[in-house]
């Protein structure tokens, strides 16, 4: 991906920041887009200090005009957009009986609508002739694959992203645009403020008994943006320590 222009939404912190740094280290020029302008500036400055190419951009991912402006800014600074990572997202953990419609819509607007809007803007640029093509990677979650307490809004948004990813892959392959996604499991970031009971609930179902690092998720994204993923379309790669693979887990030595 040396020299390729990349857009990373939600790039100001957590997994997004790790993705931006990894793509830059692999040679991409990255527009770090985030609603938090200071966070985007901080991440872009860190990439630049490390010898990479990056610029910050303030972005509300659910606003089509802003998404189009982000794509235009990336292309003006770095050339034809070839990589787009739709990572921006927020979390809300509220029981169904207490969840207000406004809160539900807020999560869907940022996570699902934002993914669609930013992916559409990127795809429109990548589909331009001559020489259309590129990679779009969405970021969902294992919470979009299972029913989990307190995750009506978050789980619905992430499940929607996974179906959207497959639709985008089917429609955009004809334009040389490969669309895939990653679904992180529990990942050690500031937003993941899990208490001991919640951590135990996750770890009990995981083959690898720890949380992921943001850099491990970024590694999967980098693979999906590279030439070795040239025949992959519509896949969701779980970076989850075996969470989705697990069924009943216990030590047979302890008896039935």
Both tokens of 45, joined, read 């400055």
The answer to whether residues 153 and 99 touch, using CB atoms and an 8 Å cutoff, is yes
Active site (catalytic) residues? 154
Phi then psi dihedrals of residue 113, to 5 deg = -65, -40
């Amino acid at each position: 991906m040396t020299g390729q222009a990349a857009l990373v939404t939600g790039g100001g912190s957590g997994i997004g920041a790790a993705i931006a740094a990894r793509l830059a280290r692999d040679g991409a020029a990255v527009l770090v887009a985030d609603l938090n302008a200071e966070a985007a500036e901080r991440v872009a400055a860190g990439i630049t200090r490390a010898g990479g190419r990056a610029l910050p951009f303030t972005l509300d991912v659910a606003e089509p005009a802003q998404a189009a402006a982000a794509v235009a800014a990336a292309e003006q600074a770095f050339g034809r957009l070839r990589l787009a990572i739709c990572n921006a997202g927020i979390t809300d953990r509220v029981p169904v009986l207490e969840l207000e419609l406004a809160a539900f819509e807020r999560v869907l607007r940022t996570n699902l609508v934002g993914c669609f809007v930013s992916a559409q803007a990127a795809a429109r640029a990548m589909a331009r002739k001559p020489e259309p093509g590129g990679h779009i990677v969405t970021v969902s979650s294992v919470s979009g694959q299972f029913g989990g307490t307190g995750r009506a809004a978050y789980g619905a948004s992430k499940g929607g992203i996974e179906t959207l990813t497959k639709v985008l892959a089917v429609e955009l392959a004809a334009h040389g645009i490969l669309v895939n996604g990653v679904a992180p499991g529990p990942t050690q970031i500031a937003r993941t403020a899990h208490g001991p009971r919640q951590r135990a609930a996750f770890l009990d179902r995981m083959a690898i008994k720890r949380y992921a690092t943001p850099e491990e998720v970024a590694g999967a994204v980098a693979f999906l943006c590279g030439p070795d993923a040239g025949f992959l379309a519509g896949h969701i790669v779980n970076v989850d320590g075996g969470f989705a693979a697990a069924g009943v887990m216990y030590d047979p030595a302890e008896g039935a």
